[in-house]
Amino acid sequence: MRPEILNPLFAQTDTLDGIGPKLMKPLEKLGLTRLRDALYHLPERFVTRRVIESLDDAGEGEQVIIALTPTEHRAPYNPGRGPYRVLAQDSIGNICALTFFGRASYGAKKQLPVGEKRWIAGRLDRYGDMLQIVHPDHIEKEGAETMGQLCEPVYRLSDGLTQARIVSLASQALERVPNLPEWVEPTQLEKEGWPSWSDALSLVHKGDNAAACDRLAYDELLANALALKLVRADNRRRKGHALIGDGGLRAKLELPFPLTGAQARSVSEIEGDMTQESPMLRLLQGDVGAGKTVVALKAMLIANEAGKQAALLAPTEILARQHYATLREMAAPTGVEVAILTGRDKGKARESILMGLLDGSIDIVVGTHSIFQDTVSYKDLGLVVIDEQHRFGVAQRLQLASKGKRSPHTLAMTATPIPRSLTLAQYGEMDVSRLDELPPGRQAIDTRVVPQERMDDVVAGVARHIESGQQAYWVCPMVREMDGAWQQNDIAAAEARYAALKERFGDAVTMVHGQLDPKIKDANMQAFASGKVKLLVATTVIEVGVDVPASTLMVIEQAERFGLAQLHQLRGRVGRGSEKSVCLLLRGAELSETGRKRLALMRETQDGFRIAEEDLALRGGGELLGTRQSGDEAFQIADLDQITRFLPVADADARLLMDRDGGLTSKRGEAARMLLYLFERDWGVQLLRGG
Ligand code: ADP
Ligand code: MG
């Protein structure tokens, strides 16, 4: 429950004027389902437009407002494919095109009747030998001339939304902003010259205002720091199980290799934590292929030796099944009972697993988040291992912790190497073990950058590879060409690529992506993992953890569209066996300077920690932390530059607040609670109530 004063901000956006059910989908796509989201959907930039009399008065690339009279509508030959164009004339007879893609063309038909003058605002650019305005920002019957010179926000959109809609959404949300008590330390406000929270919000929607932006970013960093400290404080208060393993089960393992130094060290750090009564909160950070699984298994066996159960939580169904297979095989000589439970296990099979967890006959369970639903009870859960923890909210982690009277130990594992300067932000309050040494005998992956135009050669190479009996991945940036995504028409979509490769390779190729029926996806994955199918076309669903050692070729199409960290993860799918592996990074024709540097870095090194550091440097201060659409970024508002400048201060401030008022009951503590709600760190507040 949120404090009443905040409730209006969490109302659904469809309670606003002009927002009907039709807009809900496009709004959802942008993550704008509540007023709070609209407030924090900040403009990407601002434009200032000039009113011009005729097209002669402006050049390409200029933002203008001009009166134009439509003369002709040109629908695409192939509806839904090409753009819809309206030719229009200025006051002295120059013609330009107004161009619409996707669904936007329906509106254009109505808004631009032939022969009627309209005020058009937008950016002039060239289309062949004609000027054009693509998706005008405004089409008005009258009055638009008064908007000239005004500074106007430009928001990120999704298909079906207009700038005007978002502007209206933001301004209605701003009208409902309540007066909240200040949570930022007064000296900090004064030192930086920051406005109050509500002023900062209206300022950032109206124009470039560095102080207001910084303040909102600081808010977010403070909320995050505070929430992490609340978790840690709660963790210290909790009682866990002091688990002493006698080594009996671990001694029965018949591993085909000795542990690396880093693995052995990590196991002993974990074992040390587990012998303590306060629950472990540890992160195991290790590059792809560093061998985290066996470390996790040892930790789970320690729990079993001490008579407790252990659970391993995987981010996807595919990974859960893979972990299950690996762990079952590795653990076989120990005789412990390993089971799997996912959302897809139903009926009798599910019942029997649930029984086993309750009566303690199952020692280790692997699954997706369904292993922590309310309907699942454990006899005595001693350890939770979370694989790829960045995909899970901390909230879920806590939900786990609160099962049972005593909290289980938590071991989170991630293959995302995080730059040192960001570890604090993401894992601030966890202890960290690093696997900074790869198992011996790994061969370097031969990485090459190949222009997309050489597709025929690439396909021929894949054919040779498959004929020699090996397997290959082929990764595309998306599932299918997005409806109306006119800027991205050249994108390589998995479905189209699959169709093309199918003609060449027939049944030797299959496909997995997030929009496939889960059963089909699994079956396809299984066919590939078993070696029946040789080539797997995929999107980034294979990014995390998939382990098919016989697959030794990775093709990544339009590699420049992926982040460095993602490329690194993807490449890590190969080079897992003893065979030499190759990674081909196909690049599009237009490559930015940064894009070029990134691909060059990939060719140069395989060290994940180095890639992470350089990624940070390449992205520079202005750009945001990763691509936001992936949805697992730590911060929505704060950019890298702001993180660097303000995170240490926010962290210190949060610590001070906790030291003075750990229950958040003072006036400023109350304000800080509001902040936690605003940034959806509700779980932080819940911890205060001991729940
Ligand atoms: P990740 O850290 O990416 O989860 P895995 O646990 O999947 O890595 O291990 C990658 C591969 O390395 C597996 O095939 C595993 O059996 C192997 N492996 C793990 N530890 C060692 C080791 N110490 N020596 C040799 N091979 C190892
Ligand atoms: Mg793994």
In this predicted model, what pLDDT tens digit does every residue of 123-173 receive, in sequence order? 898 888 889 998 888 888 887 666 666 788 889 888 778 888 898 899 999
Q: Which two tokens stand for residue 151?
A: 């500074």
234 has a pLDDT exceeding 90: no
Percent of residues, the chain, with pLDDT higher than 90: 47
Q: Name the most confidently modeled range: 138-147, 169-178, 267-276.
A: 267-276
The vertex-248 CA angle with 243 and 252, nearest 5°, equals 130
366 has a pLDDT exceeding 90: yes
Q: How confident is the model at residue 510, as a pLDDT?
A: 95
Range in 170-179, 263-272, 585-594 the model is least confident about = 585-594
Contacts of 666 (CB under 8 A, 6+ apart): 660
333 has a pLDDT exceeding 90: yes
Query: What is the number of other CB atoms lying within 10 angstroms of the CB of residue 295?
Result: 27
Pocket test for ligand 1, best of 260, 266, 267, 294 (most atoms within 8 A of CB): 294
CB-based burial of residue 11 (10 Å sphere; 0-12 exposed, 13-18 middle, 19+ buried)?
middle
Q: CATH number of the domain at 446-605, out of 1.20.58.390, 3.40.50.2300, 3.40.47.10, 3.40.50.300?
A: 3.40.50.300
In this predicted model, what pLDDT tens digit does every residue of 400-456 receive, in sequence order? 555 556 788 989 888 777 766 666 666 667 888 989 888 887 778 999 999 989 999
Q: Mean pLDDT over residues 17-41, rounded?
A: 88
Round the average pLDDT of the chain to a whole number and report it.
86
Q: How confident is the model at residue 159, as a pLDDT?
A: 77
CATH of domain 248-435: 3.40.50.300
In this predicted model, what pLDDT tens digit does every residue of 198-209 receive, in sequence order? 999 999 999 889
- What is the SS3 string spanning 32-94? CCEHHHHHCCCCCEEEECEECCCHHHCCCCCEEEEEEEEEEEECCCCCCCCCEEEEEECCCCC
The neighbouring-strand residues paired with 240 are: 407
Q: Mean pLDDT over residues 559-580, rounded?
A: 85
How many angstroms separate the alpha carbon of residue 259 from the centre of ligand 1? Answer: 9
How many Cα atoms occupy the beta-carbon half-sphere of 589 within 13 Å? Answer: 3
In this predicted model, what pLDDT tens digit does every residue of 588-644 receive, in sequence order? 877 888 888 889 999 999 888 788 778 777 764 333 333 333 333 567 888 877 888
Q: How confident is the model at residue 563, as a pLDDT?
A: 80
Angstrom distance (rounded) from CA 424 to CA 225: 9
**Fold category of 46-154 in CATH:** OB fold (Dihydrolipoamide Acetyltransferase, E2P) (2.40.50)
Pairing mode of beta strands 45-48, 151-154: antiparallel
Range in 170-184, 520-534, 564-578, 654-668 the model is least confident about = 564-578
Per-domain residue ranges of the chain: 1-43+156-166, 46-154, 248-435, 446-605
- What is 496-555 written as a DSSP string? HHHHHHHHHHGGGEEEE-TTS-HHHHHHHHHHHHTTSS-EEEE-GGGSSS---TTEEEEE
Contacts of 319 (CB under 8 A, 6+ apart): 387, 388, 544, 545, 546
Contacts of 324 (CB under 8 A, 6+ apart): 338, 340, 366
Percent of residues, the chain, with pLDDT higher than 70: 89
Q: Which ligand is closest to the CA of 257, given by its number?
A: 1
Nearest CA residue ID for atom 27, ligand 1: 439
Closest CA to 663 of 328, 362, 230: 230
Question: Which parts of 443-514 are beta strand (E)?
Answer: 446-451, 471-475, 509-512
Closest CA to 318 of 336, 289, 353, 343: 343
Nearest CA residue ID for atom 16, ligand 1: 291
490 has a pLDDT exceeding 50: no
Instruction: Kindly report each contact of residues 678-684 with a partner whose C-beta sits within 8 Å and lies 24 or more positions away, as own/partner.
Output: 678/6, 678/9, 678/36, 678/219, 678/223, 679/219, 679/220, 679/223, 679/224, 679/227, 681/223, 681/224, 681/226, 681/227, 682/2, 682/395, 683/227, 683/394, 683/395, 683/398, 684/226, 684/227, 684/230, 684/231
Q: Is the CB of 260 under 6 A from ligand 1?
A: yes
Domain 46-154 matches domain 248-435 at the CATH topology level: no
How many angstroms separate the alpha carbon of residue 579 from the centre of ligand 1? Answer: 15
Q: How confident is the model at residue 197, as a pLDDT?
A: 97
Residue of higher predicted confidence among 315 and 333? 333
Q: Mean pLDDT over residues 486-492, rounded?
A: 46
Q: How confident is the model at residue 631, as a pLDDT?
A: 34
How many angstroms separate the alpha carbon of residue 366 from the centre of ligand 1? Answer: 18
In this predicted model, what pLDDT tens digit does every residue of 573-586 receive, in sequence order? 898 777 899 999 99
